[in-house]
Amino acid sequence: MTPEQFTQALEVLSWKQSDFCRKAGVDKNTPSRWVNGRTPVPAWVPAYLGAMQEIKRLHQVYIEPGA
């Protein structure tokens, strides 16, 4: 996952980096290192964000009123 893809995934979820940190249990400075290219995005992050996007989609389809 590229830094740009990470940022786009957060946008799809309407999350800030701080939201990701809280939900994923990572240090608050970690995503900044990924976005700035100082450290690579770990392999688990795309899977985690993909799962969260699917949960959001399912929520919109089955839970939200008027869906």
Helix (H) or strand (E) holding 3: helix 3-13
Confidence at residue 67, expressed as pLDDT on a 0 to 100 scale:
53
- Which residue from 19, 58, 22, 25 is spatially nearest to 42, judged by alpha carbons? 25
pLDDT reported for residue 32: 96
Q: What pTM did the predictor assign?
A: 0.88
Per-residue pLDDT of the chain (67 residues; tens, 9 = 90+): 999 999 999 999 999 999 999 999 999 999 999 999 999 999 999 999 999 999 999 999 999 877 5
The tokens for 3 are 């830094």
